[in-house]
Amino acid sequence: MQLSNRLSNIKGGGSDGWDLFVRARGMIAQGIEVTELTIGEHDIRTDPIILDALHRAALAGNTGYTEFSGMSALREQVAGRVRERTGTKTTPENVLIVPGGQSALFASHYAALDEGDTGLFIDPYYATYPGTIRSVGAVPRAIKARSVNQFQPEADLIAQAASESGGRAKSLLINSPNNPTGVIYTRETLENIAGVCQDHDLWLISDEVYDTQIWQGAHLSPRSLTGMADRTMVVGSMSKSHAMTGSRIGWIIGPEDKIDQIGDLTMNTTYGVCGYIQEAALFALQQGPAFEAKIAEPFRRRRDLVMRQIEGQSVVRAIPADGAMYVMLDIRATGLSGDAFADLLLDTHHVAVMPGESFGAAAAGHVRVALTVDDARLDVAIGQLLTLAAQQAK
For the stretch 96-144, pLDDT in tens is 999 999 999 999 999 999 999 999 999 999 999 999 999 999 999 999 9
Query: Distance between alpha carbon 219 and the CA centroid of its chain, in Å?
Result: 14
Q: Residues 209, 148: one domain? A: yes
Q: Residues 19, 166: one domain? A: no
Which of these three, 235, 258, 287, is where a domain ends?
287
Mean pLDDT of all residues in 269-296: 97
Local structure of 188: helix, strand or coil: helix
Q: Where are the alpha helices (DSSP H) in the chain?
A: 5-8, 19-29, 48-59, 72-86, 101-112, 129-135, 155-164, 187-199, 256-267, 275-286, 288-311, 338-349, 375-393
Q: Residues 213, 245: one domain? A: yes
Which of these three, 272, 287, 302, is where a domain ends?
287
CATH label of the domain that carries residue 324: 3.90.1150.10
Q: Residues 153, 229: one domain? A: yes
Give yes or no for residue 13 having a pLDDT over 70. no
Q: Residues 295, 266: one domain? A: no
Q: Residues 164, 211: one domain? A: yes
Residues with Cβ within 8 Å of 338's Cβ and at least 6 positions away in sequence, in order, are: 331, 355, 356, 357, 358, 363, 364, 365, 366, 367
What is the pLDDT at residue 317?
A: 97
Say what the pTM is. 0.96
Give yes or no for residue 16 having a pLDDT over 70. no
Q: Residues 282, 310: one domain? A: no
Mean pLDDT of all residues in 363-380: 97
Between residues 265 and 9, the one the model is more confident about: 265
User: Total structural domains in the chain?
Assistant: 2
What value does the mean pLDDT of the chain take? Answer: 96
Q: Residues 104, 147: one domain? A: yes
Q: What confidence category does residue 15 fall into, taking pLDDT thresholds of 50, 70 and 90?
A: low
Q: Residues 301, 252: one domain? A: no
> What dihedral do alpha carbons 5, 10, 14, 17 form, nearest 10°?
-170
Query: Distance between alpha carbon 267 and the CA centroid of its chain, in Å?
Result: 25
For the stretch 345-357, pLDDT in tens is 999 999 999 999 9
Give yes or no for residue 185 having a pLDDT over 90. yes
What is the pLDDT at residue 51?
A: 98
Which of these three, 287, 318, 339, is where a domain ends?
287
Mean pLDDT of all residues in 27-32: 95
Local structure of 153: helix, strand or coil: coil
233 backbone dihedrals φ, ψ, rounded to 5° = -120, 125
Give yes or no for residue 6 having a pLDDT over 90. no
Residues across the chain: 394
Q: Residues 208, 308: one domain? A: no
Q: Residues 199, 121: one domain? A: yes
For the chain, report the end-to-end CA distance as a whole number of angstroms: 56
What is the pLDDT at residue 345?
A: 98
- 201: closest CA among 247, 164, 170, 245? 170
Q: What confidence category does residue 2 fall into, taking pLDDT thresholds of 50, 70 and 90?
A: confident
For the stretch 150-175, pLDDT in tens is 999 999 999 999 999 999 999 999 99
What is the pLDDT at residue 5?
A: 84
Q: What confidence category does residue 303 fall into, taking pLDDT thresholds of 50, 70 and 90?
A: very high
Residues with Cβ within 8 Å of 246's Cβ and at least 6 positions away in sequence, in order, are: 46
Residues 349 and 279: beta-carbon distance below 8 Å: no
Residues 204 and 172: beta-carbon distance below 8 Å: yes
Domain span at residue 32 reads 5-45+290-393
Q: Residues 151, 230: one domain? A: yes
CATH label of the domain that carries residue 127: 3.40.640.10
For the stretch 44-89, pLDDT in tens is 999 999 999 999 999 999 999 999 999 999 999 999 999 999 999 9
